[in-house]
Amino acid sequence: MADTVVRKHIIFYGRVQDVGFRYFSVYKARLLGLAGWVKNLDDGSVEMEVQGKEAEIDTLIQFLDGHRWIRIDAMDVENIAVIPDHDFVER
């Protein structure tokens, strides 16, 4: 089932604003062929919906967590319905 497309709603907590999180999310997600969006929330967290193969989504999260300016302390992750979506954008 590694080729199954999934969509996840994720809230990231930690040092995730004012560190390029959205920029690097869009950059890497597009390289990986993922779809969805990312945006800052008023409480200092970042919200993301990401769609694609599970392995590519994991690669995106590992890339972000490994970035020297970003620190992910916690994530709330929920599987949601896949929708017709073909690009990854910043909101």
The structure tokens 């990231």 sit at 12
CA 86 to chain centre: 15
Alpha-carbon distance 45 to 16, whole Å?
6
Q: Is 27 helix (H, G, I), strand (E, B) or coil?
A: helix
Residues serving a catalytic function are: 22, 40
